[in-house]
Structure 1
Amino acid sequence: MTSKLTAILPDLAPWRSSRDFRLLFVQGLVTYFGSFMAMIALPLQIKHLTDSPLAVGAMGAVELVPLVVFGLYGGALADSADRRKVIALTEAGLGVLAGLLLVNALLPEPLLWPLYVVAAGVSALAGLQRPALDSLMARIVPHDQLTAAAALNSLRWQTGAIAGPAVAGVVVAYAGHATAYGVTVVGFAVSVALCTRLQAAPASEDAPKPSLRGIAEGARYAWSRPVLLGTYAVDLAAMFFAFPNAVFPFLADDLDAEWALGLMYAAGSVGSVIVGLTSGWASRVRRHGQLVVYGAAGWGLAIAAAGWFGSVWAVLVCLAFAGAGDMLSGLGRSTIWNQTIPEELRGRLAGIEVLSYSVGPQLGQVRAGALAGWSGTRPAIWSGGLACVVSVGLLAAALPKLMTYDADTDEDAQRRRARQGAAAAEPVG
């Protein structure tokens, strides 16, 4: 019985082997909880001020350009600067922006335009930070523990995604937006303190300075690798067509279940956590491309079902299944990225990763909000889910190397494993 449980429960090897992984795990848990509090409070505040699904969806459009520009630059920066400093400084900046939301919420009549300005600023800082954060993982975790690390990181993220929205719905309803933003500020303060305890992660002496040429070099590498290209394209399509979070407040109204709004935001994370808590099997998977495709298709089917059903409980179950599919796809993507990308390109490719898994949701919010205003909330959701399934199937057919990727035989994975092993074997000092 013990051996069976061990095979199912999460693999804790990264937690045991890396001090920096433990610090980042705790830091992420704290900051994700606070961030999700703000993520729920912000669209709710826009809804209360405007009562317009288009106004809520427009938040995605405001965030898009800063995310693209600073995500690409952040990737180049991560290859040329100390990644620890980048993470700590951007985390402090996010805390300042949360403070501005708090100040605005405390005004007798809160203003609308600062909400969009702060949303754009958050998007810019997140774009700068994510490549440094993501590229650091492959440096601090052994190669054979990368899938386990991806599962634990996703479990951490989803825990915050459950607790943050669930608590935020109650906090906003009974204590107001300002209290939710105040919790976010405190979370970022704790996070910055933890980031300063990370070991320095400087770039190599011959690392290039951030430049358009360096960004283009990373883009050329990604374009030349069908497996990487497939992970980006599948995630982008899935999020563009089937990310309806912006219209959840209106879906709750349609179902006469305003009380369930926080649960809607958290339901997907429940499904992801269930997969994460039983992810011991994931360390034995070799065909991670299939995880990417089947997980994304499952996400789309579940989102389509969530838009179709008229029962709030059925919707919540469907959203949980969607989260499980997204977790599976995310495990595959993260493992492929960390197993195959060379260290000298890790930051710039992480910048492209930011675009693939962040631009999609931003555009998806705009799509969902605009279509909901035209056809209604539920048709906007189920039609997007079906479009996701079709697009993922077409991409899998167009990029067959993604489906046949094998961690043991792929040339890039073998090369990355050999280089990390050689680096670990070098004498210290």
Structure 2
Amino acid sequence: MARRFLADTTPLQQPDFRRLWWANIITVIGAQLTVVAVPAQIYQLTGSSAYVGLTGLFGLVPLVVFGLWGGALADAMDRRILLIITTIGLIGTSALFFVQSFLGFGNAWLILCLFAVQQAFFAVNQPTRTAILPKLLPVAQLPAANSLNMTVMQAGAIAGPLVGGAMIPILGYSLLYFVDALFLFATMWAVIRLPSLRPGDGLTKAKTPGLKSVIDGFRYLAGHKVLMASFLVDLIAMIFGMPRALFPQMAHESFGGPDGGGVAFALLFSAIAIGSVVGGVFSGWVSRVERQGRAVIICILIWGVAIIGVGVSVGFAGGTAIPMLPVAVTLLMIGGAADMASAAFRQSMLQAAASDEVRGRLQGVFIVVVAGGPRIADVAHGAAAASVGTAVATAGGGVLVVVFTVVAALAIPAFVRYRITR
């Protein structure tokens, strides 16, 4: 009985997916070490949070540009070859991070430029990796496969920073970068073992991976309401319902933490990822859901209600005998679990409903939406909190998530009706 609720591991029976998944566990840990080391090294060199903030700009621009172009590449060439090339690129940039640290160059701009190059390779690699899943697995196993992948990513987002942050004072930056480069060879091994993965030969296949093929991908997307709706509801959930930019202020002003870091900040910042991991461990049910469109709507509504609750708990902090920090953290964990399920369903819909010859470009759009939505939310929530405070900004954002999601569901009933047959 318990196995019905635990993660569905059926996709791991497929050898190619199993190798990629196990390799991903190793490489995610290494990647998170670099995620921690880059801003820490920049801050140590400059003593300026403004320089650290530039990592967002240096990361987002190549992620958007190469995410879209990388999707076009994935629709124009053998995806196995593209994965090999981009994995080599990731290994190379990690090795260069090691070299600059080991030789003590001490140049923040060099680190930022290396980071931008690394993100460009990642932006091509990630949509390609996702686009190959329908070639490896049957449609019915895609939700379980995506849940397994997302669980690993979120677990890395928790463990990597904790381990990396603790190791920096002891081992220094050079070893962290070296470990990242070394661990990436696990992915190289798994990718080399893949069969040839050429895209389909339909009319929308990207003949040349340029601007025209990217535009053709957007045209294809515009003609499929269900796929458009999957991006729309994700943007609604992230732009209006992701208050992570307010966590430092919440932790300090509402929950009594110091003005820099602290336990309250750590709990708030990690709660969503923890909820995602817990949701992934108990994601056995996602493989049995046929009405995936309706499931996405329900999950996003749960996310919105949870964020409303977070805002309310922040508003009541200090004004009641009930400790509100555990309430806020619990609600963020519930929201994280709901978001994990929503993402698994939306990714599966995108993989199953899209034609193979355009699947890479749509995965590129998916990467841009996933990366861009939270960054827009950072700006929007920061501006709103400056005017109305963190409690109202957070709760109000949650209300907008619920309202706009209901409106989207009513406006695009085909999305709510979308289902897969088993």
- TM-score, scaled relative to structure 2: 0.83
1:302 partnered with 2:301: no
TM-fit CA distance, 1:74:
1.0
Amino acid at match of 1:181: Y
TM-fit CA distance, 1:368:
5.0
* Contact 1:162/1:267 (8 A) holds in 2: no
* Contact 1:97/1:118 (8 A) holds in 2: yes
Aligned twin of 1:38: 34
SS of the residue 1:74 aligns to: helix
The separation in 1 between residues aligned to 2:245 and 2:38, in whole angstroms, is 11
1:171 partnered with 2:167: yes
Amino acid at match of 2:24: G
TM-fit CA distance, 1:231:
0.6
TM-fit CA distance, 1:123:
2.8
* Contact 2:200/2:356 (8 A) holds in 1: no
Amino acid at match of 1:219: F
1:319 equivalent among 320, 329, 332: 332
Q: Given the superposition, is the C-alpha separation of residues 392 and 205 from structure 1 closer, same or farther in structure 2, using an over 3 Å criterion?
A: closer
* Contact 2:381/2:393 (8 A) holds in 1: yes
Q: Given the superposition, is the C-alpha separation of residues 298 and 105 from structure 1 closer, same or farther in structure 2, using an over 3 Å criterion?
A: farther
Aligned twin of 1:76: 72
SS of the residue 1:9 aligns to: coil
1:23 equivalent among 19, 23, 26: 19
Q: Given the superposition, is the C-alpha separation of residues 247 and 229 from structure 1 closer, same or farther in structure 2, using an over 3 Å criterion?
A: same
Structure 2 matches for 1:44-193, cutoff 5 A? Answer: 44-45=40-41, 49-50=46-47, 52=49, 56-105=52-101, 110-172=106-168, 175-193=171-189
- Higher mean alpha-carbon deviation, 160-169 vs 7-16, is at 160-169
* Contact 2:20/2:187 (8 A) holds in 1: no
Amino acid at match of 1:95: I
Aligned twin of 2:420: 407
Residues paired across the two proteins, number: 404
TM-fit CA distance, 1:198:
2.1
- Higher mean alpha-carbon deviation, 27-36 vs 203-212, is at 203-212
Q: Given the superposition, is the C-alpha separation of residues 30 and 271 from structure 1 closer, same or farther in structure 2, using an over 3 Å criterion?
A: same
Amino acid at match of 1:7: R
Q: Given the superposition, is the C-alpha separation of residues 171 and 6 from structure 1 closer, same or farther in structure 2, using an over 3 Å criterion?
A: same
TM-fit CA distance, 1:376:
6.9
1:8 equivalent among 5, 21, 34: 5
TM-fit CA distance, 1:225:
1.3
The separation in 2 between residues aligned to 1:371 and 1:99, in whole angstroms, is 41
Structure 1: gaps spanning 5 or more residues? 409-416, 418-429
SS of the residue 2:419 aligns to: coil
For residues 287-323 of structure 1, the C-alpha deviation after alignment (integer angstroms, 9 at most, x for no partner) is: 1112222222333443454455355544432332221
The separation in 2 between residues aligned to 1:251 and 1:108, in whole angstroms, is 37
Aligned twin of 1:211: 210
SS of the residue 2:132 aligns to: helix
- Higher mean alpha-carbon deviation, 350-359 vs 37-46, is at 37-46
For residues 371-419 of structure 1, the C-alpha deviation after alignment (integer angstroms, 9 at most, x for no partner) is: 67787777765554444444433333332222222223xxxxxxxx9xx
For residues 172-206 of structure 1, the C-alpha deviation after alignment (integer angstroms, 9 at most, x for no partner) is: 46545444434323322332233222222234578
* Contact 2:286/2:341 (8 A) holds in 1: no
TM-fit CA distance, 1:148:
1.8
Q: Given the superposition, is the C-alpha separation of residues 113 and 253 from structure 1 closer, same or farther in structure 2, using an over 3 Å criterion?
A: farther
Q: Given the superposition, is the C-alpha separation of residues 323 and 202 from structure 1 closer, same or farther in structure 2, using an over 3 Å criterion?
A: same
Aligned twin of 2:368: 355
The separation in 1 between residues aligned to 2:63 and 2:224, in whole angstroms, is 24
The separation in 2 between residues aligned to 1:76 and 1:62, in whole angstroms, is 22
RMSD of aligned alpha carbons: 3.2
* Contact 1:30/1:190 (8 A) holds in 2: yes
* Contact 1:23/1:198 (8 A) holds in 2: no
1:333 partnered with 2:351: no
The separation in 1 between residues aligned to 2:151 and 2:209, in whole angstroms, is 33
Q: Given the superposition, is the C-alpha separation of residues 397 and 131 from structure 1 closer, same or farther in structure 2, using an over 3 Å criterion?
A: same
Identity in percent: 33
- Higher mean alpha-carbon deviation, 369-378 vs 232-241, is at 369-378
- Higher mean alpha-carbon deviation, 86-95 vs 217-226, is at 86-95
TM-fit CA distance, 1:21:
0.5
The separation in 2 between residues aligned to 1:371 and 1:62, in whole angstroms, is 25
Amino acid at match of 2:372: V
The separation in 2 between residues aligned to 1:312 and 1:112, in whole angstroms, is 36
The separation in 2 between residues aligned to 1:26 and 1:194, in whole angstroms, is 9
The separation in 2 between residues aligned to 1:312 and 1:45, in whole angstroms, is 31
SS of the residue 1:353 aligns to: helix
- Higher mean alpha-carbon deviation, 277-286 vs 247-256, is at 247-256
The separation in 1 between residues aligned to 2:286 and 2:11, in whole angstroms, is 14
- Higher mean alpha-carbon deviation, 22-31 vs 207-216, is at 207-216
Amino acid at match of 1:329: S
Q: Given the superposition, is the C-alpha separation of residues 286 and 322 from structure 1 closer, same or farther in structure 2, using an over 3 Å criterion?
A: same
- Higher mean alpha-carbon deviation, 163-172 vs 365-374, is at 365-374
- Higher mean alpha-carbon deviation, 329-338 vs 37-46, is at 37-46
The separation in 1 between residues aligned to 2:227 and 2:85, in whole angstroms, is 30
